[in-house]
Amino acid sequence: MNPAPVQNSSPVASHTCTVTILFIFLLTLIHFNVIAQDTAKTKVILPFISPDSLKKVDSTSIINSLEHKTRDIEVYRPIKKRVNLITAVNIAGYGGSLILLNQAWYSQYPRSSFHFFNDNKEWLQVDKVGHAWTAYNTGKASTEMWKWTGMNNKKAAIIGGLSGAAYLTVIEILDGFSKEWGFSPGDMAANVFGSGFFLSQELAWGEQRIQYKFSFHRKSYGGPMLNQRADKLFGNSWYERMLKDYNGQAYWFSANLKSFFPHSNLPAWLNLSVGYGAEGMLGGFENVAYDNNNNIIFDRRDIKRYRQWYLAPDIDFTKIKTNKKWLRTAFHFLNAFKFPAPALELSNGKVKAYAIYF
């Protein structure tokens, strides 16, 4: 007896990526109009009295100390109007996208009681790495918004960082009530990792020394049968392929070298990145597809599925100094994506070199 048909793709991987890209775009627009302006952080001058001055009875020396020895202290004062605005934006952005996602996707499929679905072996885990990227960049964008309100960096990072995992948790729960899929513990773990990766850097260093990035190139599958299979799985448009074709995706940990070696002469914008991708995947678990009667309609188990590891230079756009607000906004958005550059690929025990890799 043939095994039951397997799902060829998970809605969460593609749809959360879609929603996240739209949400990040919304945030960058707000950043362009608002966040790029001066923050609510202010400076006040407070008197500083040295220990030596306190030992002296002569009041003149104390007065001189007050006049000539001062220090700047940055004070974070949340502005109520800004807090209310960002709260409303988050409610509208998160809540509205979830409602739209439910109406446009989950309502089209039969419901069921809450259940789990183990998809940890799907797509050689590229979809899981994508979930983590989504949580990381959602939390990062949200944190920038909360910083603009005047909230201190630590509190803003905690609220913003956790919001990414919280948002994706709701989507996982919706998956759990869909008969076609189910709540994926693997997806949930990836979401938590992405948010934790962002938050841990903010709390430890106060900055993102290692950026989590994404790149994509459209693949050509050669023969008519393979192209037809790819169109059915991943869509035909460039946009659909970018979101669904895991064979063309790569995810990168991009480390800023100057942040780790501050006394070096390295350019402030130079990064070194390590990437992960996979190849040969024409089905979620295997390169086989069945019809509703469990008859095999596609079988290319002869095509090897394998992992790919990359090493390449990269650019941290936020380290490029500019006074133009629109350019700073563009840099914040671009930093979620890997810059095309020469790269080395390790796969199947061999090393390949690329003049430019997307």
Q: Give which of 239, 273, 14 is closest to 122, Cα–Cα.
A: 14
Q: What is the pLDDT of residue 107?
A: 79
Provide the domain limits for residue 232: 11-40+77-357
The more confidently predicted of residues 3 and 108 is 108
Q: What is the pLDDT of residue 63?
A: 47
Which H helix or E strand runs over 143? Answer: helix 126-148
- Shared domain for 211 and 289, answered yes or no, is yes
- Shared domain for 63 and 99, answered yes or no, is no
- Shared domain for 265 and 307, answered yes or no, is yes
The more confidently predicted of residues 231 and 77 is 231
Confidence of residue 23 (pLDDT cuts 50, 70, 90): low
- Shared domain for 349 and 201, answered yes or no, is yes
- Shared domain for 25 and 72, answered yes or no, is no
Query: By three-state DSSP, how is residue 298 classified?
Result: strand
Q: What is the pLDDT of residues 321-341, one digit of tens each?
A: 988 888 888 898 899 999 999
Residue type, 62: I
Q: Averaging pLDDT over each range in 19-33, 93-107, 168-182, 201-215, which range is the top one?
A: 201-215
Q: What is the pLDDT of residue 64?
A: 52
Q: Give which of 116, 107, 101 is closest to 17, Cα–Cα.
A: 101
Residue 5 lies in a domain: no
Which H helix or E strand runs over 354? Answer: strand 350-357
Whether 358 has a pLDDT exceeding 60, the answer reads: yes
Number of folded domains in the chain?
2
Q: Give which of 278, 245, 271 is closest to 334, Cα–Cα.
A: 271
- Shared domain for 142 and 286, answered yes or no, is yes
Q: Give which of 168, 129, 117 is closest to 12, Cα–Cα.
A: 168
Confidence of residue 357 (pLDDT cuts 50, 70, 90): very high
Q: How far is CA 305 from CA 88, 216, 352, in A?
A: 45, 18, 17
Residue 1 lies in a domain: no
- Shared domain for 60 and 172, answered yes or no, is no
Q: What is the pLDDT of residue 165?
A: 86
Can you say how many angstroms the Cα of residue 100 is from the centroid of all Cα atoms in its chain? 21
CA 159/CA 333 separation, integer angstroms: 20
Q: What is the pLDDT of residues 239-270, one digit of tens each?
A: 889 988 999 999 999 999 999 999 999 999 99
Q: Which of 96-100, 141-145, 149-153, 291-295 has the lowest mean pLDDT?
A: 96-100
CA 197/CA 210 separation, integer angstroms: 9
- Shared domain for 207 and 335, answered yes or no, is yes
Q: What percent of the chain has pLDDT over 90?
A: 51
Q: Give which of 136, 100, 148 is closest to 254, Cα–Cα.
A: 136
- Shared domain for 192 and 338, answered yes or no, is yes
- Token output for 79: 């502005």
Beta carbons within 10 angstroms of residue 54's beta carbon: 10
Confidence of residue 25 (pLDDT cuts 50, 70, 90): very low
Q: What percent of the chain has pLDDT over 70?
A: 78
Residue 323 lies in a domain: yes
Whether 296 has a pLDDT exceeding 90, the answer reads: yes
**Angle between helical axes of 185-205 and 153-176 (0-180°, round to 10):** 180
The more confidently predicted of residues 113 and 144 is 113
Q: Which of 48-52, 108-112, 141-145 has the lowest mean pLDDT?
A: 48-52
The more confidently predicted of residues 278 and 45 is 278
CA atoms within 13 A on the CB side of 186: 18
Q: What is the pLDDT of residue 58?
A: 53
| Residues contacting 321, CB < 8 A, separation 6+ | none
Q: Which of 43-47, 187-191, 287-291, 292-296 has the lowest mean pLDDT?
A: 43-47
- Shared domain for 60 and 129, answered yes or no, is no
Q: What is the pLDDT of residue 299?
A: 94
Q: Which of 28-42, 180-194, 240-254 has the lowest mean pLDDT?
A: 28-42
- Shared domain for 246 and 211, answered yes or no, is yes
Whether 163 has a pLDDT exceeding 80, the answer reads: yes
CA 335/CA 348 separation, integer angstroms: 30
Do residues 311 and 347 lie in contact, with contact meaning Cβ atoms separated by under 8 Å?
no
- Shared domain for 96 and 145, answered yes or no, is yes
End-to-end distance of the chain based on CA atoms, in angstroms?
43
Q: Give which of 274, 251, 279, 300 is closest to 348, Cα–Cα.
A: 279
- Token output for 91: 């409610």
Beta carbons within 10 angstroms of residue 349's beta carbon: 6
* Mean of pLDDT over the chain: 82
Q: What is the pLDDT of residue 76?
A: 58
